[in-house]
Structure 1
Amino acid sequence: MLSITLNGEARQFAEVATIADLIGALELAGKRLAVERNGEIVPKSRHALEALHDGDALEVVVAVGGG
């Protein structure tokens, strides 16, 4: 079980190993979003490569169109 802080809230996930896995678990795959892990932006090209660890703090922001 992975324990992280997501957008300021303590959360636990099973079967989540990478940022890409987390995005899938949150049902955000395919959406325009920005991910910050422990204070650093993670480029989309690295989402599948970046392993998550207990205690990581993530901010996930989804872009919303409009005007």
Structure 2
Amino acid sequence: MRCLVAELPDGEVVGYASCAPELSTWQGREYLHMDCLFLWADSRGSGLGALLMEAVVAEARALGLDEVQ
């Protein structure tokens, strides 16, 4: 399991995305399952959610996986 965090310049953590490689028995291959994407209410609308999603996709690529669910 991986947990990617959104952190403000002062070090405050304001959100996270958790994900883990999973095996699809239907497709017979691995993919990256994103379990949760969370941002504190006052950090929503700032673009941090999109950055976390980009980080999850980058994590999938780093693991050699071509799909995020």
TM-score normalised by L of structure 2: 0.21
The structure that has the greater radius of gyration is: 2
Higher relative strand content:
2
